[in-house]
């Protein structure tokens, strides 16, 4: 009975974690591309493409910032030489949470159907 409630909830949590992972990955890549585009003549040659790139960067930045904020607060105490390690820490945390939730799912499945696993 409990497995019918727990497994769908865990699946939703896994989907949310994967979405967070992809949003942060796209934001990191877009921020690199936007930085290098702003430092070259791309900015003036292709203004409309550059504006679209900056708007996408802003959108993904606003989506990723709430998830990165706790890690940035934690890393503020350390000298990181100007490198933002918060996306990497978030990525590692998401991977650990996915592994933990996967283990919980397997344990629930074993408890409900012991002959299958």
Q: How far apart are CA 102 and CA 100, in angstroms?
A: 5
Q: Dig out the tokens for 74 from the structure.
A: 């934690």
Q: Dig out the tokens for 72 from the structure.
A: 């940035």
Residues of the chain with pLDDT under 50: none
Q: What is the pLDDT of residue 116?
A: 64
Q: What is the pLDDT of residue 113?
A: 75
Question: pLDDT tens digits, residue range 88-99?
Answer: 999 999 999 999
Q: What is the pLDDT of residue 51?
A: 93
Q: Is the pTM of this model over 0.85?
A: no
Phi, psi values for residue 49, rounded to 5°: -65, -40
Q: Are 43 and 37 in contact (CB under 8 A)?
A: yes
């Amino acid at each position: 009975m409990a497995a019918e409630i727990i497994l769908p909830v865990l699946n939703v949590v896994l989907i949310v974690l994967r979405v967070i992972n992809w949003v942060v990955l796209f934001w990191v890549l877009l921020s690199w591309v936007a930085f290098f585009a702003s430092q070259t003549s791309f900015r003036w040659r292709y203004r409309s493409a550059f504006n679209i790139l900056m708007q996408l960067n802003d959108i993904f930045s606003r989506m990723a910032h709430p998830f990165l904020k706790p890690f940035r607060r934690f890393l503020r105490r350390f000298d990181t030489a100007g490198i933002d390690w918060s996306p990497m820490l978030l990525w590692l945390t998401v991977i650990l949470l996915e592994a933990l939730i996967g283990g919980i799912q397997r344990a629930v499945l074993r408890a409900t159907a012991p002959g299958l696993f």
